[in-house]
Each structure stands twice: as C-alpha cells, then as structure tokens.
Amino acid sequence: MQEVTFTLPEGINWYNYYNKKVETVTGVQVTRNLPDLEQAVFIKGGSVIPTLLHDDCMAISSCIFDKIRLDVYLDNSQKAAGRLYTDDGVSFKHETGKEYAIVKFTFDGGFKSELVSTDATYTFPETQTIDTLAIYGLTEEPNSVLQAGV
C-alpha cells in the first residue's frame, strides 16, 4: 500500500480511473491508502477518451490499428465531448498533406460522432473500428440502444 494525498476541484464530476466511480469528496485535501499498482488518477466529467484495445499485443506498432473503446465520462449535466486524432502511424504524410483524420464525439442524451477534418484523405483501416462504447455516470438506464438509427 502507498499513502497518497490529493485535492480535486469542486463542482465537477471526477471519476476514479480504476473503478470508474464518481469521487464524492471534492474541494478538500484527501489522504488515502492505495494498492501498489494504483495511483490517484481521476478523469474530469465531460470527457470522451478513445482507448486502443490492444491487450493481446506485445508491441504498439503491430496493433495501432486495432479496435477502439470510447470511454464517456458524463459531467453534472449528463454531457461529454472529445476528439480522436489518427493517421497511418508510420509515415510523415500527415505533416505535408491531409492524410489524417480528426473525429469529434459528443454525448448529450444521445451519442454522435462527426468527421471534423472534412478534407482529409486518410482512410480508416477495416480493423480500426469503435468496438465498445462505455458511458459512466448515467443517472437513468437507457430503454434502448440504437446504431445508425436502427
């Protein structure tokens, strides 16, 4: 165990990175004992974080185009937004041309994604898909989940 002291700003949902629960103590200094393999890492509510799913890979270069999970951490208003930047991971074509893509994700009661870099020539590999969407902090269980309106 290790002893850690931290203070989180008030008025914002802060999620514990490891257990994904909202931290209830904010605005004051907190001291906790954490397991050796954990740190005091918190994610600000309102964030969307793309996470590369590469558990079975030994080198990031061989699995850079694997599936992606979007972790959505809702703020006090049940909203979140974030962006994903991607390119071929090898060349420098992104510096001289439009061979990259920026995708914006928003959650405001419903989840939307939009390609921000509209003049980009980057083509997503077939293996680089959003495989999982995890939403933390929902106050109500959804009555249905649709993909592309279906």
In this prediction, residue 150 carries a pLDDT of 59
DSSP character for 23?
P
Among candidate residues 84, 88, 112, the one with its CA nearest the CA of residue 98: 88
Taking the model in full, what pTM does it have? 0.84
Burial class of residue 146, CB neighbours in 10 A (0-12, 13-18, 19+):
exposed
In this prediction, residue 101 carries a pLDDT of 85
pLDDT tens-place string over residues 46-77: 999 988 887 777 877 778 888 888 899 999 99
Within 10 angstroms of residue 98's Cβ, the number of other Cβ atoms is 13
- Three-state SS for 88? coil
Mean pLDDT of the chain: 86
Q: Are strands 68-73 and 130-136 parallel, antiparallel or unpaired?
A: parallel
In this prediction, residue 36 carries a pLDDT of 87
Instruction: Give the neighbor-by-neighbor strand order of the sheet with 79-87.
Output: 111-115, 100-108, 79-87, 47-52, 68-73, 130-136
Q: In order of start, what are the domains of the chain with their CATH numbers?
A: 2-44 (no CATH), 47-136 (2.60.40.1180)
In this prediction, residue 77 carries a pLDDT of 92
Per DSSP, the chain holds a count of helices (H) and strands (E) of: 2, 10
E strands within 7-117?
A: 14-16, 30-34, 42-44, 47-52, 68-73, 79-87, 100-108, 111-115
Residue stretches of the chain with pLDDT short of 50: none
